[in-house]
Amino acid sequence: MYAQQVDTGLAKVQSNAEMDAAERAFQARIDADVKIEPTDWMPEAYRRTLIRQIQQHAHSEIVGMLPEGNWIGRAPSLKRKAILMAKVQDEGGHGLYLYAAAETLGVSRDKLVEDLHAGKAKYSSIFNYPTLTWADIGAIGWLVDGAAIMNQIPLCRCSYGPYARAMVRICKEESFHQRQGYDIMLSLARGTPEQKAMAQDALDRWWWPSLMMFGPPDADSVHSAQSAKWKIKLLSNDELRQRFVDQTVPQADYLGIAMPDADLRWNEARGHYDFGAIDWSEFHNVLKGNGPCNRERLAARVEAWEDGAWVREAAVAYAAKEVLRQKEAA
């Protein structure tokens, strides 16, 4: 997902016997579905894990503005241009809400941004793939936002109050994103042969990276189990991935384009689609920085930040002068 692999800093899931009294009381509140708020006591590992998770999510929103922003200038109609501008703007807003949620845990946004720029913080692997055609904008809305929503809806119930509240707002705003993507795909599917080919090509390139968004298989992750116990991860990677496949296959069928997976078929006994093996070496390589666009994405963020430094400094200097002037006037 947007937070694909969040390190909890723990070697294994903490059992109740290993907890001290404060930790047990904390776990009891979580088990009773009481929300944890910024000023409440919390285990350091919970706080640090949340910061990592929320900032991965926030960075993903901000970096995610780039591949889609790539097409604002070339949107094929004025209506599509307005929708895309509003959508990319929303991603900025979502990043902002999430950074603010992380800030309640005692870390500043500038510090989080520095970590991103220094390569110390992760963001979703999906945004390191290029948007080569207009159909990619459709595929991102349909698949990437579809996958994101699937993960985000349960997070509205997560244990940390500010994070849950940010997710509620984000989910409300995000509901149009997936539809606009599918709407683009529909227009292409009903269009000229060239447009249909464009839609198929986009699905071919985005399908597997979309499945990787849900993160590695559950069996590989001790962190997932601890996060589940803390209720900051409510459904497992594999569970969400299966739901996503089940939901998306009929949508592709309706578009009349083919999933790039020879092993994909309905399994009557399981009541789910079976699908082919995911190339996890690609996933790990993209996370490591070897994706097709890692360098460009980070460079664009760093450039915006550095080019904007004098603007941010000027605003601070002006505010200080104003305070002084008000004091003198009083």
Partner 1 sequence: MSEPRIDYLLRLGDNALVLAQRLGEWIGHGPVLEEDIALANVGLDLLGQGRMWLSYAGELEGALSGHARTEDELAFLRDGGAFRNVQLVELPNGDFAVTMARQFYFDQAHLLLLRALAASVDPRVAEIAAKAAKEVAYHAERSADWVIRLGDGTAQSHARMQSAIDRLWPYTGELFAGDAVDAAIAAAGIGPDPATLRPAWLAAVDSVCAQATLARPTGEWMQGVQGRGGKQGVHTEHLGHLLAQMQFLQRAYPGAQW
Partner 2 sequence: MTSANAGEWPLWEIFIRSQHGLAHKHVGSLHASDAAMAVKNARDVYTRRNEGVSIWVVRSADIVASNPDARDELFDPASSKVYRHPTFFPMPEDVKHI
**Interaction site with partner 2 (CB under 8 A):** 37, 39-41, 86, 89-90, 93, 96-97, 100, 103, 106-111, 165-166, 169, 173, 312-313, 315-316, 318-319, 322
The dihedrals phi and psi of 261, each to the nearest 5 degrees, come to -145, 105
Nearest residue (CB) to partner 2, 110 versus 253: 110
Q: Which run of H or of E encompasses 265?
A: strand 265-267
Report the residue number, 73 or 106, with the smaller CB distance to partner 2: 106
Any contact of residue 76 with partner 1 (CB under 8 A)?
A: yes
Q: Which residues contact 126 (CB under 8 A, 6 or more apart)?
A: 60, 64, 144, 209, 210, 212, 213
Burial class (CB in 10 A: 0-12, 13-18, 19+), 210: buried
Contact flag: residue 304 with partner 1 (CB under 8 A): yes
The secondary structure of 10-55 as a DSSP string is -SSPPPGGGS-HHHHHHHHHHHTTPPB-TTS---HHHHHHHHHHHH
Cα separation, 227 vs 329, in Å, equals 54
Q: Which residues contact 188 (CB under 8 A, 6 or more apart)?
A: 134, 135, 138, 195, 196, 198, 199
Q: How far is the CB of 60 from partner 1 (least distance, A)?
A: 13
Distance between CA 189 and CA 10 in Å, rounded? 48
Between 103 and 261, CB nearer to partner 2: 103
φ/ψ of 272, rounded to 5, equals -140, 165
When asked if residue 74 is in the footprint of partner 1 (CB under 8 A), the reply is: yes
Least separation, in Å, of the C-beta of 63 and partner 2? 19
Query: Measured from the CB atom, is 186 or 278 closer to partner 1?
Result: 186
192 near partner 1, judged by CB under 8 A: yes
Choose which of 2, 129, 134, 214 interacts with partner 1 (CB under 8 A): 134
119 binds, among partner 2, partner 1, none (CB under 5 to 8 A by kind): none
Round to whole Å and give the CA distance between 21 and 67.
48
Considering the rule CB under 8 A, would residue 114 count as an interface residue with partner 1?
Answer: no
C-alpha distances out from residue 261 to 211, 265, 273, 277, 285, Å: 12, 9, 12, 9, 21
CB of 83 within 8 A of CB of 180?
yes
Question: Which residue's CB is nearer to partner 1, number 114 or number 303?
Answer: 303
Is residue 34 a contact point for partner 1 (CB under 8 A)?
A: no
Tell me the window of 39-47, 79-87, 228-236, 271-279 that interacts with partner 1 (CB under 8 A).
79-87
Q: Binding residues for partner 1, how many (CB under 8 A)?
A: 48
Q: Closer to partner 1 by CB, 65 or 102: give it.
A: 65
User: Min. distance of Cβ 286 from partner 1 in angstroms?
Assistant: 20
- Residues making contact with partner 1 (CB under 8 A): 62, 65-66, 69, 72-82, 85-86, 88-89, 92-93, 95-96, 99, 134, 184, 187-188, 190-192, 194-195, 300, 303-304, 307-315, 317-318, 321
